[in-house]
Amino acid sequence: MQRLIILVAACMFGIAAPTFADEFQSLAPLGTQPFNCSAPGAPLEPHYQWWQNTTGRDLRIGQVRIWMGMSYGGRADYHAQVLRYPDWMSLATAGWDRYSEPVSVPEYAITYSPHWVNLAQGDWLVLYYFCAPVTGPTMGHVSVTIWYTLEP
């Protein structure tokens, strides 16, 4: 039933879900609360969020998705990146020049399947994000979902 719900949601939003042949599981390890963007013209204020793999097993990441939201009427340059620590490998990067109301879901997916990126036990995922508004106060929100299988 969970697979059907995920597949229906993916079809509704036009998002390509990884194949279920390898029994992918989803996890949303990183996600911000709404945050204030830097003031227009002020130096950027980068933000970081960390998540450690404490599952006891290596994760084989087949897809990384970044969803970016912004307050209604917000105008900003928006950046989000997912990195693997300790080697700082970039798993996914999203940039959004939001100057009008969006006409689609602001979601970016990097698919590695049928290959994968390994996240070893004890390694970290790091979300690096910021937004620089063009006009007035603006708030952003970022969410990261990974699709993975466990190392056998």
Question: Could you tell me if residue 14 is inside a domain?
Answer: no
Q: Are the C-beta atoms of residues 67 and 106 closer than 8 Å to each other?
A: yes
Residue 46, pLDDT > 60, answer yes
In a domain, 42, yes or no: yes
Q: 139: domain CATH number?
A: 2.60.120
| pLDDT of amino acid 4 | 37
Give CA–CA dist 133/147, Å, rounded.
31
129 pairs with which residues across the strands? 47, 80
Record the pTM: 0.80
Q: Is the pLDDT score of 149 beyond 70?
A: yes
Structural domains of the chain, count: 1
Q: Tell me whether residue 34 is exposed, middle or buried, using C-beta atoms within 10 angstroms of its C-beta: 0 to 12, 13 to 18, 19 or more.
A: exposed
Q: What is the mean pLDDT of the chain?
A: 84
For residue 57, being part of any structural domain is answered with yes
Instruction: Assess if residue 1 is contained within a domain.
Output: no
Is residue 104 a part of any domain in this protein?
yes
How do residues 11-43 score in pLDDT, each as one tens digit?
344 445 544 445 899 999 999 999 888 877 788
Residues 76-90: tens digit of each pLDDT: 888 999 999 999 999
| pLDDT (0 to 100) of residue 3 | 44
Q: Which domain holds residue 40?
A: 21-150
Count of CB atoms situated within 10 Å of the CB of 84: 20
Q: Which two tokens stand for residue 7?
A: 């597949």
Q: Measured between alpha carbons, how far is 134 from 99 in angstroms, rounded to an integer?
A: 8
Eight-class DSSP state of 9:
H
Residue 11, in any domain of the structure: no
The predicted structure's pLDDT at residue 12: 40
- For residues 15 and 107, is the Cβ–Cβ distance under 8 A? yes
Q: Report pLDDT digits (tens) over 131-148.
A: 988 887 888 899 999 999
CA distances (Å), origin 99, targets 70, 73, 102, 112, 114: 11, 9, 9, 31, 36
Provide the 8-state DSSP code for 21. G
Query: How far apart are the two ends of the chain, measured CA to CA in Å?
Result: 25
In a domain, 8, yes or no: no
Lowest-pLDDT range of 101-105, 109-113, 143-147: 101-105
Q: In the chain, count of helices (H) and strands (E)?
A: 1, 10
Percent share of the chain, pLDDT over 70:
83
